[in-house]
Structures are given as structure tokens and as C-alpha cells.
Amino acid sequence: MNADVIIVGAGITGASIARELSRYKLKILLLEKEAEPAFGVSKSNSGIVHAGTQNPPSSLKGWLCVEGNRLIREEIAGDLGLDFSECGQLIVIFDPADLPELEKIKKEGEELGVKGLEIVDRGWLEANEPNLGPDIKAALLVPSAGILSPYRFVYAMVENAVKNGAGLRTSRKVSAIRKPAGGGFEVVAGGEVFRAKFLVNAAGLYADEISAMAGAPTFTITPRKGEEYLLDKKREHIVNRLVFPLPAKNSKGILIIKTSDGNPMIGPTAHEVRGKEDLSTSDEGLAEVLAGARRLVPSISKSDIISYFAGLRPVAGKDFIIRHEDTVPGLVNAAGIQSPGLTAAPAIAVMVAGILKKQGLNLERKEEFHRLRPRPVHLFQVSDEETRRLIVKNPAYGDIVCRCELVSAKEIREALKSGAVTLDGVKFRTRAQAGRCHGGFCTTRIMKIIQEELGLPVTAVSKRGPGSELIKDERKWPSDEHSS
């Protein structure tokens, strides 16, 4: 056996499971089809650490969300140096006749164990959220909701799992799964064969295909698209909390979202689509999001929007599917991880570890588990005084590469040392290229740093892995330019 457990998919679900299992004396292998972790659903979402409200008390996702929220707030955010902020949430109503609905959400939240819920009136809202629309009558205040950077959450989980001995193999698309006579699994990925006794399927949108490959075609994933629109940082303080309307049939509705990087966001839509790679945005989506957002905060205008993206929720019915497939001994599915999967992931990981133990995996704790991960430095998050101190210590902090987002050469080199191998990997870790100019000024400079740091020819430097290289002919690349 190469490993005790193979996990397919390095999104937040697989990354959290890898970190959880890395507490034990086990050989863990995380296989990811993309060039880097966090390139699936986990990069394209709202980044909200939901409190657990808006889920039925009987649902698995409801209680896993409440427990995931607790784990993030009380342990993981501090241990892994995440930029988590417990900003709180409001669920607003426009008609006093909807008050019973708000009371119901409060009661269901309390049944799930969500603390501090309180209904606040128009006077409270005027004092605390002055930009909200005049038609909003009351709201449910949910103090334990928060925000974090979704991709930096995944990177932190993966880095810490690897630090604790888990193996990570990227660009390894699982294409076949065999079940040898002696038990366990042979997993074919990227032309190699990996063996393990247990297989955990955390393949997001493709979890149905992986489960079928392993011999359990027990569910289908239907993508549900969400379009999101990012606003300029100058609108950072447009709201002080996350603002939600009453939930819609299939989603939590169009929200005003605070983000850990400062830019507020509006969205997401929720529409079922056919294609698992259909990340297009549309005029209709923009109109729907703008109308929904302006109902909550009328001063939002189209010209505030600087960027947009779409993500696909991997939906398999109403709830998560987290179970051992009894017809395929050793296969555990962590599938249908739609919202609030980002929040629930640490609790899903604990649940999966429990299922594996029940199936015979020996969970013996390591003598030493490296719980802590140093918080990466981001100049855009520190004071001028701290920036000066950093530059004195290391002048590369004063070498600003991305002017829009204030990202230094030092931060880019650190991102590459911690695992980034592509331009998107650098962007998600540091924010370089994420500002108003979308990398117009800094991309060539970042490419040169990638070349130097990873020892790659420029023709191998890509946006998000093989097939997305930017330069085809090395002779056209200005190699004599200053680059560090």
C-alpha cells in the first residue's frame, strides 16, 4: 500500500480531511487534478463562515455548519493564522407580516445551537447600519457569522496537513479506480497508480463520477451556479455586517457580503446549469444581483463593480452526503457539499475520521501534531509603521510588484515557497493581480519571479496549469529586464 487513506480532491473538504487525519499515525495522500489546491468550488464562493441559521434543525448540513463555525472561531482561525473576522450577520425583512418567518429562523437556529440570536428593530438598524434601504423594517441579528478568504483557508489547511506528514500530489486527475482481490483500492491518476485501503471522495462537482468509478453510482451532482460581483474597495464600509434577505427557495438570496480583503461583494444568484465547467456570467445575472443588492442598500451602483465571477455549488439533493458506501468496503463519500460547505468542512473532516475509524482504520495519535501555522504577512493588512519595520528587516518588502493591492516581491516569493506554481496560485495567496488593473502592470514581473523561484522556462509559466501558458516562444520574452 502507498497510503492508508487516499483523499480525492484538494478543495476545502479534502484539505480539511487531510489535516484532521494528519493528527494520527497514518499515511495520507491527497490527489488533486488541478495544478494547485483550491482551484475548484472552494475558490469561487462568498467566503462566509455561516452561523448555522437558515438550515432545518434536522439537516446534517445544519449541525455540521454550527460545529464548523465553532471550530473555525475557537480553534482553526487562530491556529492557522487565517484572516477571519467575526463581523456578524443580519437577515432583514421588508414587511412586518414576515416577522413570524424571522422568529421561525431564530427558533430553528437556536435548536441547532446558534448563540446570541436577537430580533432588532428599525431604530437599531438606523443606528448600526445607516446605509440600509428605508423599506427594511426589522432583522435577525446573528453575531457568530463571519468572513474569511476561502482560498487562503484551503492553502492553510493543506500546508498544515503537509507539515504534519500528509502527501499532496497535484496535476493527478483520477481516471480509474480498481479494487484488487486482496481489498483496498488502486487509484490511477496522472499516469501513476496509488494504492490504499481506504478511499475518501471529496471531488466536489465530480464526486458522483468518482463514486461511480469506485463502484457506487449512488447519486448525481447537479451544478447550481452562483454569480458574484465584487465592488471597489472604496465601498468597504458600505455595511458593517453581512446582510441577507429572507431565504429564497433554493438559496440564501442576494446578499451584501463583506470580504476579508476589503472589497464588498454582491450576489450570488442560484440557478441550475448543465455544465460542470460553465463558469460564465451573464447580463441577466448582473441585473438580478444589482436589483437584489440595491433593495438592501440603494446606494450601490453598477459603476462600483470592478470584477465578477461565477461558482458552481455541487448539489446532490437537499443535504450533504457523508457516508461509508457499504457496497464498496473502504469507500467514504463526502459529496454534495453545497453551501455551507466552506464553513462545515472542519466538522465534516471530524465526521469522516469517525466513519473511517468505525470501518477499521486505526486512529492512533502522533506524539507531536504541529497545530500552529505562522500567519503569512500581507502588506495590505498591516499598518504603515509595521510596513516600515518589515522593510528595514527585509528590503524586498519595499519592492512593490502589484501597486493596486500593495503586494511586494517578498510576499510573492513566500507564496511560491509555500506551494504556489501558477499566476492564479500567486493571486489567490497574495492578491497580486486582483486589483483594478487585473494584473496589467504586474503580470510580467510576477512571471519573472516565478521563473527565478521555481527554475522554470518562461514557456512553462501558466495562469492556472498546463494549457494556460502565456508565452509560446521564449525568444519573444524580454529576459534582460530587471526582475527581482
Ligand X SMILES: Cc1cc2nc3c(=O)[nH]c(=O)nc-3n(C[C@H](O)[C@H](O)[C@H](O)COP(=O)(O)OP(=O)(O)OC[C@H]3O[C@@H](n4cnc5c(N)ncnc54)[C@H](O)[C@@H]3O)c2cc1C
Binding mask 139-178 vs ligand X (x if CB under 6 A, - otherwise)? Answer: ----------------------------------xx----
C-alpha to C-alpha distance for 69 and 146, rounded to whole angstroms: 9
The letter for the amino acid at 203 is A
Among 5, 18, 337, 432, binds ligand X (CB under 6 A): 337
Our CB check for ligand X shows the closer of 202 and 216 to be 202
Beta-bridge mates of residue 167? 29
Our CB check for ligand X shows the closer of 230 and 402 to be 230
Distance of CA 339 to the CA centre of its chain: 11
11 in contact with ligand X (CB under 6 A): yes
**Could you tell me which residues come within 8 angstroms of residue 273 by beta carbon, excluding any fewer than 6 positions away?**
223, 224, 225, 312
30 in contact with ligand X (CB under 6 A): no
The answer to whether the CB of 221 falls within 8 A of the CB of 315 is yes
Binding mask 263-282 vs ligand X (x if CB under 6 A, - otherwise)? Answer: -----x--------------
Among 19, 20, 46, 297, binds ligand X (CB under 6 A): 46
C-alpha to C-alpha distance for 310 and 45, rounded to whole angstroms: 8
Question: Which residue's entry shows cell 421588508?
Answer: 94
Kindly indicate which of the ranges 38-46, 88-96, 155-163, 461-469 contains the residues binding ligand X, using the contact rule CB under 6 A.
Answer: 38-46
Best CA proximity match to 174, nearest among 328, 315, 9, 333: 9
237 annotated active-site: no
Among 70, 313, 427, 445, binds ligand X (CB under 6 A): 313
Helix (H, G, I), strand (E, B) or coil at 389: helix
Our CB check for ligand X shows the closer of 413 and 429 to be 429
Among 203, 254, 266, 297, binds ligand X (CB under 6 A): 203
The answer to whether the CB of 278 falls within 8 A of the CB of 222 is no
Nearest distance, CB of residue 128 and ligand X, angstroms = 22
Kindly indicate which of the ranges 30-38, 136-144, 434-442, 453-461 contains the residues binding ligand X, using the contact rule CB under 6 A.
Answer: 30-38
As a three-state string, the secondary structure of 130-141 is CCCCCCCCEEEE
H helix intervals, 257-340? 283-296
What single DSSP character describes residue 97? G
Length of the chain: 484
H helix intervals, 359-399? 384-393
Binding mask 221-260 vs ligand X (x if CB under 6 A, - otherwise)? Answer: -----x-x--------------------------------
Phi, psi of 412 (to 5 degrees): -70, -40
Catalytic option among 50, 237, 370, 438: 50
Nearest distance, CB of residue 364 and ligand X, angstroms = 27
Binding mask 204-223 vs ligand X (x if CB under 6 A, - otherwise)? Answer: xxx---x-------------
Nearest distance, CB of residue 397 and ligand X, angstroms = 31
52 in contact with ligand X (CB under 6 A): no
Question: Which residue's entry shows cell 476561502?
Answer: 150
Residues that bind ligand X (CB under 6 A): 8-14, 31-34, 39-42, 44-48, 50, 173-174, 202-206, 210, 226, 228, 268, 311-313, 337-343
| Catalytic residue positions, numbered | 50
